[in-house]
Structure 1
């Protein structure tokens, strides 16, 4: 029998989470999954990437863990102090351990922070339980709140909210809360990931065929776009609830991920890769006029994902994890040439790690800049935008030539340094809207999400990462400064109470943004090793069912985010070769876009 025609049929209980009309629901079902080893293209929902475990890394499956959770009841209740008392308010921890200052990074641009934002959205999205604003109305605790409410207490004497009680917060769904008792199997609650764990641009293409049908044109392999003022834009969303619109006619986009409207820079990332898909599809159609819509769509998607994977592992991650660290871990192998990387492991679990999405990867929030520069082609400031004014307001991206101006600013302006300083716009003014003077605190929300997920303590993660277990606060001085240790002492009654999302953020960066020998570095290395080795369709693999040719690999390894910007910004003509790094007068100086290498798509001519 022809091996390629064999169907792998797996029966799995309670993993078929469905999405209906944009709202998620979960029910216990038995699903029969048919996987064809000969399928050339990855499924939109991530299923059948692993033929033996067809749900591994798929949308709407469980997160993984590196260490045991610290639920207070051992099952699902948020943690408490080892003394039995409540943990300190997440807001109090934020204002005590993190300074409300703005300190610029000396190397990385805002492109790095925003690509990280884009990438983490591609990999993870918690399935929320209820309307979060129903837990704490006007910062006052509601009576008889929903059981999923987990509001953040605001301590008396708070510097910004002295007379208010709480920030709204609702817990994420986990397997047992969703009714999937047969699927639990771990003895404790595991949160669910709405999206695929793979680097597959699900933020552009979505994670299920129903949502894809709303944004795919079904003509010449292209995605739906709308043309205004000489440029193409994502389609308008008739449901404006994902945006902070001030009128029914204000722009609000629909795409592969509802978070695409969050900030101007994040919106731009979505639009760049959306336009890139259509640009590739147009080129493939011109070369291969007999290809039908499905073939053009899948080939353009496949190339777009390959470029994105290359950018992630060969441009972005070396800046974050350190090039030598990546080489030593086998994460940075071939950045040029036609050689394949054949390290796919069917036993690897590509699932997103809870400690990664619930704590470690949120450290990029310390790098958010509160004032965004809009620049002209000469990189002079034309205007500035306050982050809290433009959150959930994609209308600003289309205004005048703001797309180009915001894009230049993103690739030029330094990000905030990865440190214990938080820009005031995210610690005091987040989601303030026009009617409020102050907003929420992003760091407090991150700490509360850490606790919602029952993530193991910072001390437990130290042990897993190869550091010694701290028996006193002073034992933390090996990776945390004395100033930060003293601040930890002010809010935590025991060293074993420290949240991972706090202790990890305070560690020394060392030899890279996430330095070797830290807890976050350990988590990152585990996640990104599994993300690649657990992806049967990884672009560099010759063992995939439909590998790129050697010459095609040579071309794909010319990819860069700067090239994506040049090809899809409709007006940016000068870029530094590495948009993640601040331009200099040397090898990363501004050059004309014609000088930045291009992927030659002629090698895809049939």
Structure 2
């Protein structure tokens, strides 16, 4: 009798060298099979070469690629990580609303057993990923007309029945030819270019600048108040939708960092004008953010020796820092020197953000419902508050009231929520938007994936080359109670489990804040954001960044940025290995 084949061991169960090799193997597999171009849905511009390659980032993300002027530009489409035939949305009556998204939110997402903290992280880590997401993707304002009607259970106390959820704004260009799924437009640049700070249009960017010395407007240590109608109380910055104190801290911090970079470059190039100083400082600042995300935020969130090493190699390569700084780069590979400075490569499709990437970064459980504001000097509790006084039009008032130093310290010492079921914040499940719309973001999160044609969990998992799960108990890693809840909500149909729900339910690798399934998308897209961008590859060189700019990037960490602009935080950061991990108390 032939013995049954042994199941393939997951990468995180392998010895260190084999695990590192397996992650690399997965990345190459995903690069070959999980980059799908939505060009051809109809209405799009023909692809055309860039007339010139500017030595700086453009305002709208165009002109990065010599053969495709519009690649990555704001206003171009999201592509897909799943094959296009898998990305048709389900019929509205039969599939889109089944099971009812509101019931999924109530019964599987609600924080009904209390707050579950992610104890290895601090709240800055939660604010950071939202800060980065806003520079990578936005579907724009949702459609007001023809809202989706979400059915409610008889005992649901939502004030409007049915619940009305605005549809995603359709791609304004696509007429979706026969056999093509719907497409959607990214209203911000697809590149890792700091557009959340600088904006995705020239008009917006210039409105944020002083016009002197390349600098952004910062008045008395603060970003200016937003001047657009109805938005006073929110900072004027590149992207300020869904704004709150966590974003204000980081937007202000990196506006100050931009201005500090301007001072450094101007000291070495005193004849440069405002425009050249601005664009060079933007290059450096965007690279600082990308580096922090790669070698600090990510290792904090997926904290295993092998993933820490993999992210370090992504940016630096395997050479020790002292040797790397002395040697001139040689060869075309990434292993020795890292991706920055290597040749540009898009692999199987032109570069863009993807709908599945958006899905993998639905991380609302990170947000707390209750906040403790503490003194950065003594650690003493100043005040407890809910989320409402920290967000939207109340943001600037909150920053004025508590101040940057105490807020940074408080965010550094508070845990975010664990990314799991039954931990979606109540404050986001009944949220009043600036527009006046009232939403349950748990319901919206579930509905958006269905509406945009993201496959359900088992199909999504298979598309990413993960081994199948065949029972609810296998999905939950043996958690019988959770499996029973899922079985009841999804009427015993494992194939109907929503992707976000499945990723929250599956057991995580040790040290991971999010799921192994989401990690597969991350493995693909984290490297791609660098590898496709000529300003991180072929143009990552002193002639473009200046020698001083490259030195600034190489020698700057998140700790450096924090202490450069808030030296009073030094006692709290003493002995802290990673600024996205919980900080020590003041000494």
TM-score range, shorter chain: 0.7 to 0.9
TM-score (normalised: structure 1) = 0.77
State whether residues 370 and 387 of structure 1, in contact with CA within 8 Å, keep that contact through their aligned partners in structure 2: yes
Distance in 2 separating the partners of 1:500 and 1:171: 19
State whether residues 287 and 553 of structure 2, in contact with CA within 8 Å, keep that contact through their aligned partners in structure 1: yes
State whether residues 375 and 381 of structure 1, in contact with CA within 8 Å, keep that contact through their aligned partners in structure 2: yes
CA gap 1:565/1:198 in 2 versus in 1, 3 angstroms: same
Matched, 1:396 2:391: no
Q: Which ranges of structure 2 fall in alignment gaps of 5 or more residues?
A: 1-37, 326-336
Aligned length: 519
1:349 shift after superposition: 4.1
CA-atom RMSD, angstroms? Answer: 3.2
1:540-564 Cα deviation digits (max 9, x unpaired):
6566694557786454233222222
State whether residues 508 and 515 of structure 1, in contact with CA within 8 Å, keep that contact through their aligned partners in structure 2: no
Distance in 2 separating the partners of 1:58 and 1:463: 31
The structure carrying a bigger strand percent of its residues is 1
Matched, 1:531 2:529: yes
State whether residues 272 and 569 of structure 1, in contact with CA within 8 Å, keep that contact through their aligned partners in structure 2: no
In the TM superposition, 1:187-206 aligns within 5 A as 187-206=180-199
1:48 shift after superposition: 2.0
State whether residues 68 and 456 of structure 1, in contact with CA within 8 Å, keep that contact through their aligned partners in structure 2: no
Give the corresponding residue for 1:156.
154
1:498-553 Cα deviation digits (max 9, x unpaired):
1111111211122232567x211111111112111111111x65666945577864
Give the corresponding residue for 1:511.
510
Give the corresponding residue for 2:563.
566
CA gap 1:258/1:106 in 2 versus in 1, 3 angstroms: closer
1:394 shift after superposition: 1.9
State whether residues 375 and 409 of structure 1, in contact with CA within 8 Å, keep that contact through their aligned partners in structure 2: yes
Distance in 1 separating the partners of 2:246 and 2:533: 28
Of the three residues 232, 236, 241, the one matched with 1:254 is 236
In the TM superposition, 1:261-272 aligns within 5 A as 262-272=243-253
SS at match of 2:286: helix
Distance in 2 separating the partners of 1:78 and 1:567: 54
State whether residues 284 and 550 of structure 2, in contact with CA within 8 Å, keep that contact through their aligned partners in structure 1: no
Distance in 1 separating the partners of 2:215 and 2:119: 40
CA gap 1:468/1:306 in 2 versus in 1, 3 angstroms: closer
1:340-398 Cα deviation digits (max 9, x unpaired):
631531436431121121x2101x21111112222212222212221023320223244
Distance in 2 separating the partners of 1:291 and 1:547: 14
Distance in 2 separating the partners of 1:63 and 1:326: 29
Distance in 2 separating the partners of 1:256 and 1:564: 20
SS at match of 2:289: helix
1:409 shift after superposition: 0.8
Distance in 1 separating the partners of 2:61 and 2:240: 18
Give the corresponding residue for 2:334.
none
Of the three residues 169, 173, 187, the one matched with 2:169 is 173
1:383-432 Cα deviation digits (max 9, x unpaired):
22210233202232442442222111111111112222325433544228
CA gap 1:62/1:544 in 2 versus in 1, 3 angstroms: farther
1:424-476 Cα deviation digits (max 9, x unpaired):
4335442289x99xx64322111111122111110111212333334543452
CA gap 1:543/1:211 in 2 versus in 1, 3 angstroms: closer
State whether residues 77 and 183 of structure 2, in contact with CA within 8 Å, keep that contact through their aligned partners in structure 1: yes
Of the three residues 219, 224, 227, the one matched with 1:238 is 227
TM-score (normalised: structure 2) = 0.80
